Amino acid sequence: MDPPAVGEAVKRVIVALDPARRGDVDRLLDMARLVCGVGAGIKVGLPMLALGGSEALAEAARLCKGGGLRVLDLKLADIGYIMRLAAESLSRGFDAAIAHAFVGYEGGLVELKKTLDGLGARLVLVVSMSHPGSREVLDPCLDKLLAVARRVEPWGVVAPATRPEVVARVRETLPTTVILSPGVGAQGGKPGDAICLGGADYEIVGRMVAGSPDPVSALRGVAEYIAARCPEK
Q: How far is the CB of 206 from ligand XMP (least distance, A)?
A: 2
**Residues engaged in binding ligand XMP (CB under 6 A):** 16, 18, 43, 45, 73, 75, 98, 126, 129-130, 158, 160, 182-187, 204-208
The catalytic position among 11, 75, 114, 144 is: 75
Q: In the complex, what is the shortest distance from the CB of residue 100 to ligand XMP, in angstroms, rounded to a whole number?
A: 8
The whole-angstrom separation of Cα 25 and Cα 56 is 8
CA 22 centroid distance within chain: 23
C-alpha span between 205 and 202 (Å, rounded): 10
Query: Between helices 46-63 and 24-36, what is the axis angle to 10°?
Result: 40
- Kindly state the smallest distance separating residue 128's Cβ from ligand XMP, in Å: 7
Measured distance CA(219)–CA(67) in Å, rounded: 15
Q: Judged by CB, which is closer to ligand XMP: 4, or 47? A: 47
75 labelled catalytic: yes
CB of residue 201 to ligand XMP, shortest distance in Å = 14
Give dist(CA 226, CA 40) in Å, integer: 14
The residues, ordered by sequence, that sit 6+ positions from 217 with a Cβ below 8 Å of its Cβ are: none
Count of CB atoms situated within 10 Å of the CB of 233 = 10
Specify the residue, 204 or 230, whose C-beta has the smaller distance to ligand XMP. Answer: 204
Closer residue to ligand XMP in complex, CB, 73/111: 73
Q: Could you give the C-alpha distances from 184 to 85, 162, 169, 206, in angstroms and in order?
A: 32, 7, 18, 8
C-beta closer to ligand XMP: residue 98 or 170: 98
| Enzyme catalytic residues | 75
